Amino acid sequence: MDCFSLSLPLFLLVLSTVSAGAASGINQNGKLGESRPRRDLLDNGLGRTPQMGWNNYNHFPTQLNEELIRQTADAMVSTGLAALGYEYINLDDRWAEQNRDSQGNLVPNATRFPSGIKALADYVHSKGLKIGIYGDAGTLTCAKTMPGSLGYEEQDANTFASWEIDYLKYDNCHNDGIRPQERYGKMSKALLATGRPIFFSLCEWGDANPATWAPSIGNSWRTTGDIKDTWGSMISKADLNDMWASYAGPGGWNDPDMLEVGNGNMTTEEYRCHFSLWSLAKAPLILGCDIRSVDNDTFELVSNKEVIAVNQDVLGIQGKKVNRTGDLEVWSGPLSGNRVAVVLINRGLSTATVTAEWSDIGLNSSVIVDARDLWQHSTTTTIQYQVNATLDSHACKMYVLTPQ
């Protein structure tokens, strides 16, 4: 059965099954195959589509302070990125003092955040945005600059809620060897008990295969180690994330780490591949560049409404690699409205033509489609059998195919 021969009742059944937390079971050819059940989903009503926002770590790992956060919130609105769905402004490590206060509470660093976190949250909220914070499921954070939350889960969750935090990125350092299911599970329950909806992002690095157990605990879970601003790091993270595709869906997402787009060590075409693959894979779109001074090329990439729409598609099925011939790859996944998203990518060092046959992406050979080029914003009509493109080294094309 190809993607476009589903009857309406069956299509709606597939949609409801994915939304309820069962894997769609898209096989390597993009067809509906043997399903793999997902775990029960975290019942906090969040993450129905992948989260979008910004985090300081990739560009400002040590320069975190309240002025940076305020300016970034301002820029998110003034650039129009907020209107495109980028809503979370997230603090990473180094926001707190080294020690808790006499009551055991986390304390904002007086130098970096003299106004306190609650005042900062109020400012971010005044811009129509949401604010996120960082914690660790161990005794110390990874930078060893502030306490972790191990043993303080309820107290810290209540602190975050009192500050009106909307998002928690929860790291995995200095964890005393305790099972991650236990450590992350305690914080998940503590967040729920506060009564405040707080998006829970597990930064467990994929060490204990969190895709197999994290859906009932968090709204997203890292499937990889930390990304770096290089082609090799980025593309390897896409590969590692791909193997867990069937576990993602509305309410819980695979996370191959934050976006490096705009940080300067890759070419524009490499960043285009980065953003295309993250969008197709329904990965979180968490910007990591300085959006206060974003250049035109970077802005064009991260503000592409058509590519973002693939990431935010209501069906919520993670696209995946469906064909590889040497360094030439086809990635694809179904979208709502009986459409299919396709990324053609040339990972090699010389120019080559990449072809997606209909059989690669689950289409019947007789289907005729309109192909929308999401980066050129142009449509080619009456395409049959295949779509192809001649691509330079480390370049890609991204299409949405709509059957006539």
Active site residue 122: no
Q: Which two tokens stand for residue 357?
A: 């046959």
Kindly write down the DSSP assignment for every residue of 146-165, as one continuous string: SB--TT-HHHHHHHHHHTT-
Closest CA to 30 of 280, 228, 232: 280
Q: Which two tokens stand for residue 378?
A: 């142009």
Active site residue 226: yes
Estimate the share of the chain in helix, then strand, then coil, as percent rounded to the nearest 5: 30, 25, 45
* Phi-psi category of residue 126: left, alpha or beta, with phi > 0 → left and psi -120 to 50 → alpha: alpha
Catalytic entry in 122, 226, 239, 373: 226
Q: Which two tokens stand for residue 80?
A: 């129009």
Secondary structure class of 329 (helix, strand, coil)? strand
Instruction: Supply the DSSP symbol for 10.
Output: H
Residue 350, class by beta-carbon neighbours within 10 Å (0-12 exposed, 13-18 middle, 19+ buried)?
A: exposed
Task: State the helix-helix crossing angle for 268-280 and 231-242, rounded to 10 degrees.
Answer: 10
Residue 351, class by beta-carbon neighbours within 10 Å (0-12 exposed, 13-18 middle, 19+ buried)?
A: exposed
**Which amino acid appears at position 276 of this protein?**
S
Q: Is the dihedral of CA 255, 257, 258, 262 positive or negative?
A: negative
Please tell me the distance from the alpha carbon of residue 135 to that of residue 309, in angstroms, as a whole number.
30
Catalytic entry in 2, 171, 242, 313: 171
User: Any bridge partners for residue 255, and if so which?
Assistant: 222
User: Any bridge partners for residue 276, and if so which?
Assistant: none
Catalytic residues: 171, 226
